[in-house]
């Protein structure tokens, strides 16, 4: 087991060298300092008090927020709650935030009117494209020049050279494993799905667990996401370059599907109904030893609530998994960030911008908020739970494609892959179905003629 | 009733329906006949915290010009209805020509998303509706014969499946039938098959969805019938009893005819609701095993890129199917209107 | 209940055991929830062993006792569930009142009119009802945002009334048809106007039907998810979207139990309400018996 741990650490170190190309200096320093951090745990309390002090001061003085309207729409997980609360505190009493799981259904409608109901939407790299497609958000270049000089450059999301969003957190899926189980079968920490299959076979053969592999394979969005990871891992391209013409019915597509099916043989028979909540629950129940899971979800798996000590004490995170020999990790990188609506007055846009900039400033980081996400701002101190996401970034993983029609393909994937996994049709047939479903949808949406 | 009086009696209700249902219906039908404009795609470089990647984006200026020219979108006529994700006319035609016998044709048909959804929707409606009505009727008869003091709690417990928020209710049921939940374990014990899992098998998942459907809507039929039973003419019942009618005959010849209009009503509502089956599929994460027309609409509207025209087309098709399904009941109501004159 | 007492023993046994079986089926999931709401999440969704939810193994480990009120505390105090409860009371009250007012008037007129257009009106109401609610609601979004109607309780109330109108119409129409025409027509022969006949003759005998219809309007408003989540702003959320936000897309630990506790606690007032309705429905029995 010690070997396994060391190999991960060694890998992260090796990856760090590669990371120079990919990573911004800031993240890199954090990685480098990670070992020190653990030694300096005692110091963090002091840092936190200092940070709390600044937040309080900011709230009193309304920071650098200008007068105007702020109304936020976004998802409702804790990190976004933190950002929204800080932004609202800065903007003043009239500011509003509508944080709901249904944000994607209302954000376009809420930003279409003039003036827009929502002056900002918090989105991810998959959901920003809908706002760009509908032309409801504005380029932020002028606002950044006027009010956002101190926002680090790596947080700025640019499309065709224009700043469209400011990112504040990162996320990725990576391996989560049970150190005690791997030790029991004498296996190293898997770095590829092939390793996962071998370890799973051993675990089952030794009678430790009947279904040692977990994964969010619920039909729909989750399943499509797993295929997206796997297909990227095999080195496949989703579309013909520069066009909306889909091209997944190829050797890589088949390879990705076959690997998913091979993994599913080691999963709980109900895997097609397991979303990431259900998968986490399986983990906490101690039924699973290896799974590909979101970095944002690993925190709750490693705390002492909801599971037996032998489970949470032995829950460890690894890096992203590889498949085949393409050299690209089978995972996608995600960011969450904020935008500014197009149909608002300049005054409101400036107020929104300054408030949101305060919402994602390093001042929001404190003891409580630090663990909510892998924050992109300076001053973020990674904890062991964050290792997986950082390793995924360092390994040069691919960001989830920010392409206007990726969402249509995602839906088509989610609707069809279950047919193959259940054995009712061939991989080629499934891929052909996906292409046909996507093509019909893309035609309707004007991406294909 | 005079026309004028009738008008004022129905006015508030009709106004609401026109504003909030008829107008949206018109816009949905319109939407389904148009597709989006051509989106002008350009290659760009996107940068962010993870470096820069080559991607594509919509050229807003070029697309805006197209949009200006045709504000409703591109006229598509019935194209969206005919495409693969809906009626799939050409695919079905192909399958019919190439099919190796009827079962093969059926398999190809069920591989098309619309027919797959329709297949489940129709089966669900055909099974759940009659069972709901029958179960509801017997519960109403049984509750009606309970001592009066006990009726309140009995009614309350009978209504529980309908009252408890379906959202959380089905989540709990979903957990209970899990292979390690209490009902799931019970089923395994009954079938003496320790590997039995409702969620892993398509037929069992269908059965569970239908069971849930009956369980959830039986209280509706029950309470309507129960209210109806309160107005059964006691004199007629007594008279029938004096004439020596057995209990069953009294139900058959007095109670059932009295409840007939209510049955029509329940059948109408249940056919319609069952045809729009949606929540259980979501709550039970059953999409891998069963999809319905409403689920298809939800899926079109819930993706990262919303398919408005596709959702509109499926909605219109749903309405048409419901109208076809209800036509026997409607013909009956039509005749009733005729005889009253 | 002279009829009931005269039943033979075996029929009675059959009826009773059928009813008991049904009651178990209907109530068991709820009772299970009630029991589980006093446990921690790990026990409620006991993935390890279903018996954990009976004995509260993890609850003991995490809280020290076999029962915990954490779910209730979290929902009502920490998350201020009472606000949502208050909104629900407002929404339900107005939806039921407005629905029934419009519905009884129209339903009565429809049941008494012999013209064909009454049939067509009913038919269109039915076709309207066939429209999947998700399509309707997503169609509302754009105009509502545009006209600044989005997010208010009043908008949601009107929308819920409208969506429910076809159902109310059909149901009340069926009930009114069961009330003999002679009743109101003889009143009109005595010189009443149509409205007076409605007020003085029909209203007193219509309660069983109206109460039942009202119950459904109430349940619709109470249990509606699609409309309330999409059309209400966060601070105006009613209980169902609030409960849904406890569940969330990314379940934060412990919040699921807030949802479970919230569901259990809102069922209690319903119990009282149904006891009350039950008496109303039964009181209609005499009214119905008069008509013969």
Cα separation of A139 and A143, whole Å?
Answer: 9
Cα separation of A176 and A213, whole Å?
Answer: 10
Question: So what's the pLDDT on residue C48?
Answer: 67
Q: Which of A191-205, A382-396, C244-258 has the lowest mean pLDDT?
A: C244-258
Residues B225 and B272 in one domain: yes
Question: So what's the pLDDT on residue C52?
Answer: 77
Q: Measure CB to CB from residue A305 to each of C62, C150, C245 and give the nearest one.
A: C62
Please name the residues in contact with B163: beta carbons below 8 A apart, sequence gap of 6 or more: B219, C219, C223, C267, C270
Give a yes or no: residue A10 inside a domain.
Answer: no
Question: So what's the pLDDT on residue A36?
Answer: 41
**Listed residue (A126, C6, C115) closest to B250, CA to CA:** C6
CATH of the domain at B198: 1.10.3720.10
**Listed residue (C244, A407, C128, A217) closest to B301, CA to CA:** A407
Residues A227 and A292 in one domain: yes
Number of domains in chain B: 2
Give a yes or no: residue A318 inside a domain.
Answer: yes
Give a yes or no: residue A66 inside a domain.
Answer: yes
Give a yes or no: residue A214 inside a domain.
Answer: yes
Question: So what's the pLDDT on residue A35?
Answer: 37
Q: Measure CB to CB from residue C119 to each of B143, B294, B333 and give the nearest one.
A: B333
Give a yes or no: residue A7 inside a domain.
Answer: no
User: Cβ contacts (< 8 Å) between B299 and chain A: which residues?
Assistant: 220, 411, 415
* Secondary element (H or E) of residue C25: helix C9-36
pLDDT at C26 over 80: yes
* Secondary element (H or E) of residue A193: helix A193-205
SS3 A301: helix
Question: So what's the pLDDT on residue B251?
Answer: 85
User: Is residue C286 very low, low, confident or very high in pLDDT (cuts 50, 70, 90)?
Assistant: very low
A110 reaches C (C-beta below 8 A): yes
CA-angle at B273, arms to C281 and B154, nearest 5°: 30
Q: Where are the domains of chain C?
A: 79-291
User: Are B221 and C209 spatial neighbours (Cβ–Cβ below 8 Å)?
Assistant: no
Measured torsion, CA atoms of residues B275, B281, B282, B286, in degrees rounded to the nearest 10? -160
Residues A371 and A417 in one domain: no
Helix/strand/coil percent split, chain A, to 5? 50, 15, 35
Q: Do B264 and C174 touch (CB under 8 A)?
A: yes
Task: Give the residue, C55 or B162, on which the prediction is more confident.
Answer: B162
From C98's Cα to the closest Cα of chain A, the distance in A is: 28
Residues B160 and B85 in one domain: no
Neighbouring-strand partners of residue A163: A158
Cα separation of C23 and C211, whole Å?
Answer: 23
What pLDDT, in 10s, does the model give residues C120-130? 898 889 888 88
Provide the terminal-to-terminal Cα distance of chain B, rounded to the nearest Å: 12
B43 reaches A (C-beta below 8 A): yes
Number of domains in chain A: 2
Q: Which of A59-73, A377-391, C254-268 has the lowest mean pLDDT?
A: A59-73
User: Cβ contacts (< 8 Å) between A117 and chain C: which residues?
Assistant: 145, 148, 150
Residue ranges of chain B whose pLDDT lies below 50:
341
User: Is residue A63 very low, low, confident or very high in pLDDT (cuts 50, 70, 90)?
Assistant: low
Question: So what's the pLDDT on residue C79?
Answer: 83
CATH of the domain at A285: 3.40.190.10
User: Are C167 and C244 spatial neighbours (Cβ–Cβ below 8 Å)?
Assistant: no
Taking CA atoms, A248 is separated from A227, A413, B167, in Å, by 11, 10, 36
Question: So what's the pLDDT on residue C271?
Answer: 80
Peptide bond into A115 cis (omega under 30): yes
Q: Do B297 and C132 touch (CB under 8 A)?
A: yes
Residues B101 and B207 in one domain: no
Of the CATH numbers 1.20.1260.10, 2.40.50.100, 1.10.3720.10, 3.10.105.10, which one belongs to the domain with range C79-291?
1.10.3720.10
Please name the residues in contact with B212: beta carbons below 8 A apart, sequence gap of 6 or more: B170, B173, B280, B284
User: Is residue C202 very low, low, confident or very high in pLDDT (cuts 50, 70, 90)?
Assistant: confident
Question: So what's the pLDDT on residue A38?
Answer: 37
Residues B138 and B227 in one domain: yes
Cα separation of A279 and A297, whole Å?
Answer: 10
Residues B318 and B282 in one domain: yes
Give a yes or no: residue B12 inside a domain.
Answer: no
Specify the pTM: 0.88
Q: Write out the residue range of the structural domain in which residue A181 sits.
A: 173-332+399-444
From A8's Cα to the closest Cα of chain C, the distance in A is: 28
What pLDDT, in 10s, does the model give residues A308-333? 889 999 999 999 999 988 889 999 99
Burial label, C277 (beta-carbon count in 10 A; 0-12, 13-18, 19+): buried
Question: So what's the pLDDT on residue A19?
Answer: 38
Q: What is the DSSP letter of A374?
A: E
Residues A85 and A207 in one domain: no
Residues B98 and B125 in one domain: no
Give a yes or no: residue B13 inside a domain.
Answer: no
pLDDT at A49 over 50: no
Cα separation of C56 and C44, whole Å?
Answer: 8
Q: Do A397 and B50 touch (CB under 8 A)?
A: yes
Give a yes or no: residue B4 inside a domain.
Answer: no
Question: So what's the pLDDT on residue C130?
Answer: 86
Q: Do C29 and B24 touch (CB under 8 A)?
A: no
Question: So what's the pLDDT on residue B207?
Answer: 94
Question: So what's the pLDDT on residue C6?
Answer: 55
Q: Which residues of C122-133 are buried (b: 16+ CB within 10 A; e: fewer)?
A: bebbbbbbbbbb
Neighbouring-strand partners of residue A294: A173
C251 reaches A (C-beta below 8 A): yes
Cα separation of A414 and B317, whole Å?
Answer: 23
Q: Do B20 and C158 touch (CB under 8 A)?
A: yes
Cα separation of B188 and B197, whole Å?
Answer: 8
Residues B107 and B152 in one domain: no
Q: Which of A58-72, A110-124, C68-82 has the lowest mean pLDDT?
A: A58-72
Give a yes or no: residue A312 inside a domain.
Answer: yes
Cα separation of B143 and B152, whole Å?
Answer: 10
Q: Which residue, among B34, B50, B283, would best test binding to A if mutated, counting the most A CBs under 10 Å from its CB?
A: B50
Cα separation of B80 and B72, whole Å?
Answer: 15
Q: Which residue, among B1, B4, B13, would best test binding to C if mutated, counting the most C CBs under 10 Å from its CB?
A: B13
Q: Which of A253-262, A412-421, C221-230 has the lowest mean pLDDT?
A: C221-230
Q: Do C233 and A112 touch (CB under 8 A)?
A: no
Cα separation of B184 and B199, whole Å?
Answer: 10
**Length of chain B, please?**
341
A132 reaches B (C-beta below 8 A): yes
Residues A291 and A433 in one domain: yes
Give the mean pLDDT of C35-41. 86
Question: So what's the pLDDT on residue B67?
Answer: 83
Taking CA atoms, A203 is separated from A126, A249, A289, in Å, by 36, 34, 9
Give the mean pLDDT of C265-272. 82
Residues A195 and A258 in one domain: yes
Please name the residues in contact with A438: beta carbons below 8 A apart, sequence gap of 6 or more: A246, A405, A408, A409, A412
Give a yes or no: residue A16 inside a domain.
Answer: no
Please name the residues in contact with A16: beta carbons below 8 A apart, sequence gap of 6 or more: A28, A31, A32, A394
Q: Write out the residue range of the structural domain in which residue B102 sits.
A: 80-111
In A, minimum Cα distance to B195 occurs at A269
**Listed residue (A78, A98, A103) closest to A88, CA to CA:** A98
What pLDDT, in 10s, does the model give residues C138-156? 889 888 988 889 889 999 9
ipTM value of the model?
Answer: 0.90
**Length of chain C, please?**
292
Taking CA atoms, B333 is separated from A30, A86, A287, C18, C109, in Å, by 74, 61, 57, 33, 16
User: Are B296 and A280 spatial neighbours (Cβ–Cβ below 8 Å)?
Assistant: no
Residues A317 and A337 in one domain: no
Q: Which residues of A224-261 are buried (b: 16+ CB within 10 A; e: fewer)?
A: bbbbbbbbbbbbbebbeeeebebbbbeebbbbbbebbe
Residues A341 and A439 in one domain: no
pLDDT at A28 over 70: no
Task: Give the residue, C249 or A324, on which the prediction is more confident.
Answer: A324
Residues B302 and B170 in one domain: yes
* Secondary element (H or E) of residue B56: strand B51-58
Cα separation of A316 and B87, whole Å?
Answer: 49
Query: What angle in degrees, to the nearest 10, is found between the helix axes of B89-98 and B102-110?
Result: 150
Residues B270 and B175 in one domain: yes
Measured torsion, CA atoms of residues A219, A220, A223, A225, in degrees rounded to the nearest 10? -170
Give a yes or no: residue A394 inside a domain.
Answer: no
User: Is residue C20 very low, low, confident or very high in pLDDT (cuts 50, 70, 90)?
Assistant: very high
Cα separation of A335 and B121, whole Å?
Answer: 39
Question: So what's the pLDDT on residue A41?
Answer: 36
């Amino acid at each position: 087991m010690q070997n396994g741990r060391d190999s991960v650490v060694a890998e992260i170190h090796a990856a760090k060298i590669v990371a120079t190309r990919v990573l911004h200096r800031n993240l890199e320093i954090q990685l480098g300092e990670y070992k020190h951090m653990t030694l300096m745990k005692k110091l963090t309390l002091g840092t936190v008090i200092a940070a709390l002090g600044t937040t309080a001061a900011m709230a009193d003085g309304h920071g650098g927020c200008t007068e105007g309207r702020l109304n936020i729409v976004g998802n409702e997980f804790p990190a976004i709650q933190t950002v929204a609360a800080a932004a609202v505190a800065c903007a003043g009493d009239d500011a509003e935030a509508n944080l709901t799981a249904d944000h994607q259904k209302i954000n376009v409608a809420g930003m279409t009117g003039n003036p827009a109901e929502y002056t900002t939407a918090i989105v991810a790299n998959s959901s920003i494209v809908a706002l760009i497609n509908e032309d409801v958000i504005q380029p932020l270049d002028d606002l950044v020049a006027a009010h956002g000089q101190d926002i680090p450059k790596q947080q700025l999301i640019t499309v065709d050279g224009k700043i469209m969003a400011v990112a504040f957190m990162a996320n990725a899926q990576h391996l989560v494993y049970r150190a005690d189980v791997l030790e029991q079968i004498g296996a190293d920490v898997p770095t590829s799905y092939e390793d996962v299959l071998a370890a799973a076979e051993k675990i089952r053969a030794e009678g430790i667990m009947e279904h040692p592999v977990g994964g969010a394979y619920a039909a729909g969005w989750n399943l499509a996401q797993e295929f997206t990871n796997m297909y990227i891992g095999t080195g496949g391209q989703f579309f013909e370059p520069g066009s909306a013409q889909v091209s997944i019915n190829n050797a890589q597509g088949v390879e990705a599907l076959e690997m998913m099916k091979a993994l599913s043989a080691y999963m709980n028979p109900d895997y097609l109904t397991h979303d990431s909540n259900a998968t986490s629950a399986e983990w906490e129940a101690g039924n699973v030893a290896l799974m590909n899971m979101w970095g944002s979800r690993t925190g709750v798996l490693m705390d002492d609530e909801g599971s037996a000590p032998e489970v949470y004490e032995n829950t460890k995170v690894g890096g992203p998994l590889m498949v085949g020999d393409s050299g690209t990790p089978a995972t996608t990188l995600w960011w969450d960030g904020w935008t500014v609506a197009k149909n608002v007055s300049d005054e409101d846009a400036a107020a929104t911008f300054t408030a949101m900039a305060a919402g994602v400033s390093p001042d929001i980081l404190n003891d409580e908020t630090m663990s909510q996400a892998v924050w992109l701002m300076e001053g973020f101190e990674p904890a062991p739970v964050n290792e997986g996401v950082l390793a995924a970034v360092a390994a040069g993983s691919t960001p989830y494609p920010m392409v206007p029609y990726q969402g249509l393909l995602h839906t088509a994937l989610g609707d069809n892959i279950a047919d193959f996994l259940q054995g009712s049709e061939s991989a080629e047939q499934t891929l052909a179905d996906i292409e046909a479903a996507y093509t019909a949808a893309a035609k309707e949406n004007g991406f294909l003629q | 009733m005079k026309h004028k009086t009738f008008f004022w009696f129905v006015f508030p209700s009709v106004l609401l329906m026109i504003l909030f249902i008829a107008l949206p219906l018109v816009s949905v039908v319109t939407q389904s006949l148009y597709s989006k404009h051509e989106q002008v795609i350009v290659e760009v470089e996107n940068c962010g915290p993870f470096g820069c990647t080559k991607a594509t984006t919509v050229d807003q200026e070029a697309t805006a010009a197209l949009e200006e020219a045709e504000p409703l979108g591109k006229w598509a006529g019935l194209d969206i209805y005919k495409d693969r994700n809906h009626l799939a006319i050409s695919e079905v035609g192909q399958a019919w020509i190439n099919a190796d016998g009827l079962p093969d044709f059926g398999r190809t048909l069920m591989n098309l998303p619309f027919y797959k959804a329709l297949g489940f929707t129709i089966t669900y409606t055909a099974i759940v509706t009659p069972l709901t009505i029958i179960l509801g009727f017997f519960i109403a008869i049984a509750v009606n014969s309970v001592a009066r003091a006990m009726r309140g709690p009995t009614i309350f417990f009978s209504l529980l499946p309908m009252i408890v928020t379906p959202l959380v209710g089905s989540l709990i049921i979903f957990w209970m039938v899990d292979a390690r939940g209490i009902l799931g374990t019970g089923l395994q014990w009954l079938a003496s098959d320790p590997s039995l899992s409702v969620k892993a098998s398509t037929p069992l998942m269908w059965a569970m969805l239908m069971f849930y459907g009956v369980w959830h809507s039986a209280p509706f039929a029950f309470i309507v019938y129960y209210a109806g039973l309160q107005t059964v003419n006691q004199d007629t019942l007594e008279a029938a009893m004096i004439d020596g009618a057995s209990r069953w005959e009294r139900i058959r010849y007095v109670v059932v005819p009295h409840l007939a209009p209510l049955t029509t009503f329940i059948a109408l509502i249940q056919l319609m609701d069952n045809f729009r089956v949606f929540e259980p599929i979501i709550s039970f994460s059953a999409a891998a095993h069963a999809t319905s027309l409403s689920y298809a609409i939800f899926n079109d509207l819930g993706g990262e890129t919303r398919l408005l025209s596709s959702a509109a087309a499926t909605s219109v098709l749903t309405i048409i199917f419901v109208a076809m399904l209800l036509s026997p009941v409607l013909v009956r109501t039509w005749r009733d209107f005729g005889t009253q004159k | 209940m002279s009829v009931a007492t005269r039943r033979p023993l075996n029929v009675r046994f059959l009826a009773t055991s059928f009813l008991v079986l049904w009651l178990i089926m209907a109530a068991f999931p709820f009772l299970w929830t009630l029991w589980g709401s006093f446990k921690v999440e790990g026990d409620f969704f006991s993935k390890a062993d279903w018996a954990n939810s009976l004995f509260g193994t993890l609850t003991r480990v995490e809280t020290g006792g076999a029962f915990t009120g954490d779910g209730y505390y979290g929902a009502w105090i920490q998350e201020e569930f009472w606000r949502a409860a208050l909104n629900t009371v407002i929404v339900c009250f107005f939806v039921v009142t407005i629905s029934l007012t419009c519905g009884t008037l129209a339903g009565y007129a429809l049941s008494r009119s012999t013209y064909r257009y009454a049939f067509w009106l009913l038919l269109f109401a039915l076709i309207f009802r066939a429209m999947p609610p998700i399509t309707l609601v997503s169609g509302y979004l754009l105009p509502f945002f545009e006209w600044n109607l989005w997010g208010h309780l009043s908008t949601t109330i009107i929308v819920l009334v409208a969506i429910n109108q076809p159902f109310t119409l059909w149901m009340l129409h069926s009930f009114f048809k069961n009330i003999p025409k002679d009743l109101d027509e003889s009143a009109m022969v005595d010189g009443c106007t149509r409205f007076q006949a409605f007020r003085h003759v029909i209203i007193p005998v219509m309660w069983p039907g109206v109460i039942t219809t009202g119950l459904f309007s109430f349940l619709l408003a109470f249990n509606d998810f699609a409309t309330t989540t999409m059309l209400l702003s966060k601070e105006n959320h009613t209980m169902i979207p609030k409960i849904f936000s406890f569940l969330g897309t990314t379940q934060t630990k412990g919040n699921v139990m807030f949802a479970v506790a919230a569901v259990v606690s809102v069922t209690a007032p319903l119990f009282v309400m149904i006891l009350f309705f039950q008496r109303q429905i039964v009181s209609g029995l005499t009214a119905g018996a008069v008509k013969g």
